Amino acid sequence: MSVVYERVALIGLGLIASSMFWAMKRGGLAGEVTGFARSAETRDTAREIGLCDRVCDTVAEAVEGADLVVLCVPVGVMGSVAAEVAPHLKPGATVSDVGSVKADVLAQVGPHLPDHVHFVPAHPLAGTEHSGPRSGFASLFEHRWTILVPPEGTDRAATDRLRTLWEGFGAFVDEMEPEHHDLVLAVTSHAPHLIAYTMVGVADDLRRVTDSEVIKYSAAGFRDFTRIAASDPTMWRDVFLSNKEATLEVLGRFTEELFALQRAIRQGDGDHLHDYFTRTRAIRRGIIEAGQDTDAPNFGRAGPKP
């Protein structure tokens, strides 16, 4: 592969930024990659592990001369970080982000950016339950989708160039309207995360069942929820607050359906339950056939500790 951007600046150095860095290096997709993080501890870690060609102590230094600037910070601070970045942007540069919510990011970031740059928001649908600068790895985006959300009138060449970068990471790339993105993600990500957090919180909070029992007996299903409920709290707080409408809409539908199933249980309506549980198997098959999950039992979890 060849260099897509001569100079890339990563603002924020967590799971996504660090995975982007390793993927750029592996693929030879960028010349120099600079990085900035608000916390001195994160910058120290980045220097220690060789994350970024140059770790900068200021946003200005990181952004200066960059052809691509990627905001990799929680959605709640995208606006203020964009305001900091804006004065230092090189004419013709592309600004992107990796936030999990798009309409709100467009509204927050767009107004700060000068006319002489291109703004192409992006959302890689990939991640793990781990966070921070040490958690990234080059293959994170492979065979996963990245959604680009260019505002109307965005330069086609700027969008295509960013697409080339993501394809260089091994990602599949789609383009979408911001509102539709936010609804789709409310279904496939935001509502499931809130539900998982809720279930884990409830288990932790029941007086008649101890935490030790919950932990010992978690392999009966519960443990599957705990993975996504271990995701970064700041990131997820911001996601829910900035994708409020769509998340609440999906949760409303979820609650309706849950009540219908509870009523079926209470009334002993086995047919309703059986039909519902049969239908849900098809989606799993679709996901496996699309290469988005493994068919190995239990996700192919590694065996127990020796």
Residues 227-256 that bind a second copy (CB under 8 A): 227-231, 233-234, 236-238, 240-241, 244, 247-248, 250-251, 253-255
Reduce the secondary structure of 170-217 to three states and give it as a string: CCEEEECCHHHHHHHHHHHHHHHHHHHHHHHHHHHHCCCCCHHHHHHC
Which parts of 77-96 interact with a second copy (CB under 8 A)? Answer: none
Q: How many residues bind a second copy (CB under 8 A)?
A: 115
Query: Which is nearest to 17 in space by CA: 98, 122, 121, 119?
Result: 98
Which parts of 108-127 interact with a second copy (CB under 8 A)? Answer: 125-127
Structure tokens given for 32: 């120099």
How far is the C-alpha of 183 from the C-alpha of 186, rounded, in Å?
A: 5
Which parts of 125-184 interact with a second copy (CB under 8 A)? Answer: 125-130, 135, 139, 142-145, 147, 172, 174, 180, 183-184
In angstroms, give the least distance from the CB of 272 to a second copy.
9
Q: By C-beta, is 56 or 246 nearer to a second copy?
A: 246
217 binds a second copy (CB under 8 A): yes
Measured between its terminal Cα atoms, the distance across the chain in Å is 42
Of the candidate spans 24-32, 114-122, 151-159, 218-226, the one that interacts with a second copy by CB under 8 A turns out to be 218-226
Q: By C-beta, is 40 or 290 nearer to a second copy?
A: 290
Phi, psi of 154 (to 5 degrees): -65, 140
In angstroms, give the least distance from the CB of 36 to a second copy.
24
Of the candidate spans 37-45, 48-56, 61-69, 265-273, the one that interacts with a second copy by CB under 8 A turns out to be 265-273
How far is the C-alpha of 306 from the C-alpha of 292, rounded, in Å?
A: 30
Q: By C-beta, is 116 or 227 nearer to a second copy?
A: 227
Q: Which of 2, 40, 153, 303 binds a second copy (CB under 8 A)?
A: 303
Phi, psi of 258 (to 5 degrees): -60, -40
Q: DSSP code of 86?
A: G
How far is the C-alpha of 168 from the C-alpha of 213, rounded, in Å?
A: 46
In angstroms, give the least distance from the CB of 105 to a second copy.
16
In this structure, the strands spanning 145-148 and 172-175 are parallel
Which parts of 12-71 interact with a second copy (CB under 8 A)? Answer: none
Of the candidate spans 55-63, 65-73, 107-115, 277-285, the one that interacts with a second copy by CB under 8 A turns out to be 277-285
Structure tokens given for 289: 């056939």
Which parts of 179-208 interact with a second copy (CB under 8 A)? Answer: 180, 183-185, 187-206, 208
In angstroms, give the least distance from the CB of 210 to a second copy.
9
Q: By C-beta, is 58 or 262 nearer to a second copy?
A: 262
Q: By C-beta, is 44 or 204 nearer to a second copy?
A: 204
Which parts of 281-300 interact with a second copy (CB under 8 A)? Answer: 281-287, 290-294, 296-300
Handedness of CA 106, 110, 115, 118 (dihedral sign): negative
Q: By C-beta, is 53 or 174 nearer to a second copy?
A: 174
In angstroms, give the least distance from the CB of 160 to a second copy.
21
How far is the C-alpha of 81 from the C-alpha of 220, rounded, in Å?
A: 43
Radius of gyration of the chain (CA): 21
Q: In sequence order, what DSSP letters do the residues of 233-252 get, joined into one string?
A: HHHHHHHHHHSHHHHHHHHH
